[in-house]
Amino acid sequence: MMQNPLMQTIEALAKEKGIEADTIITAIEDAVLTASRKYYKTNENLKTRFNQETGQVDLFAIKHIVTEVEDPTTQISLKEAQDLYGEEAEVDMEIEFPKRTDVLGRIAAQTAKQVIFQKVREAERENIFAEYNQRIGEVINSTVKRFESGDLIVEIGRVEAVLPRKEQSRAESYTPGERIRAVIKGVNRGAKGPQIVLSRTDPALLIKLFEQEVPEIYDGTVMIRGAVREAGDRAKVAVYSRERDVDPVGACVGMNGTRVQAIIRELRGEKIDIVEWSDDPILFVTNALSPAKVQRVSIVDDKERVMEVVVEDKQLSLAIGKKGQNVRLAAKLTGWRIDIKSEEEKRREVEAEFGALEAGDPQAQMDALFPDMPAEQTPAEESAGMDVLAVAEQGEAEAEAAEPIESGETAEAEAAKVEES
């Protein structure tokens, strides 16, 4: 059986727009229904149905069978319905009464055309939103199309996306027609359709690039446990191996650095520090401060996640990094607040503490001897302290009341008594 020409057109349009043919058929039915209501200007319950064999849209007025008619435009009595359709007609059933569509006219046809286009466009936009909303975090190839107030408009196939200025790396510049890779950060619903937002600064881009370049990450042997970036300058990636024989850092660097160099080229020269992840926070912080070499690490406050790191004097600037970048990225990567000191700073700090002890500062002495003692005492603790002082004072008084041993003759007399006894 030969397919109706209109159905062929519908299927071709559906394929072009990437939507279902049923969506277009529904749009056609809604368009004719809208045009019919405008033409007939009645309160009838109108309904349309697309006939795939003829390619025509049939129009009906639906009437409800009732025992007593209150609204003749939407209701029909049981007796009248049985006269038309016999004893099969029953109360609460619905009857369709055909109405003409060839009288709708040019204006109605134009209205129908507009409704069809609108419905198809809405369906197309909804499909685009649903498709790309599921692909958030995926790296895609795009082509630079134009610039709009600092934002970059790119093409992804037949769809346009935006790379906002804040999602662009400051080390990069683009030209129309250039191909770039970016990560899908989100999809926003807008008046002009869904807006796909891309990013070149998101750490997800770095992670996806490593997955593409390093087979061990792709197959799950090596895992990325964290990644932080200051786009265009520096990035840090924490990696962990699930197999003892596989070096996670070496796998990511590649032979002669080929793997990481490919990613650096893609990010236009952004420096990447690959460090080994550890569940021991001290070891992890030590690794995260790479390339600086750490002398000592101690946990200052476990609850507030504060660490003190001591490095050699000549390593201090390397550990802090340009404008604090190295320590800032290490803190983001590990989740710990890192206080970096040189050995000279630490030595002066310790000397100051001992100086306070020698000077007899009671508070400094207590702090040095009992660093974990709380600054404020409870009433019970205060009374206990007073009791101790009272006992000490009483002992001193008894010692003073006792007869003193003087020098000279008295001392010799006392010695003689001892010899006699």
Distance CA 88, CA 275 (A): 81
pLDDT of residue 68: 86
Structure tokens at 290: 């790479």
Phi/psi class of residue 321: alpha, beta or left (left: φ > 0; alpha: ψ in -120 to 50)?
left
Q: What share of the chain is helix, strand, coil (3-state, %, to 5)?
A: 45, 25, 30
pLDDT tens per residue, range 181-226: 999 999 998 878 889 999 999 999 999 999 999 999 999 999 999 9
Contacts of 204-212 spanning 24+ positions with Cβ under 8 A = 204/137, 205/139, 205/181, 206/235, 206/237, 206/263, 206/267, 206/272, 207/237, 208/137, 208/138, 208/139, 208/183, 209/139, 209/181, 209/263, 209/266, 209/267, 210/237, 210/252, 210/263, 212/139
pLDDT tens per residue, range 96-155: 888 888 777 777 778 777 877 888 888 888 888 988 999 999 999 999 999 998 899 999
pLDDT of residue 416: 43
pLDDT above 60 (res 377):
no
Structure tokens at 369: 């001897």
Residue 413 pLDDT grade (very low, low, confident, very high; cuts 50, 70, 90): very low
On average, the pLDDT of the chain sits at 82
Question: Where would I find the H helices in 99-195?
Answer: 105-133
pLDDT greater at residue 251 or residue 396: 251
pLDDT of residue 90: 85
Span 273-299, mean pLDDT? 93
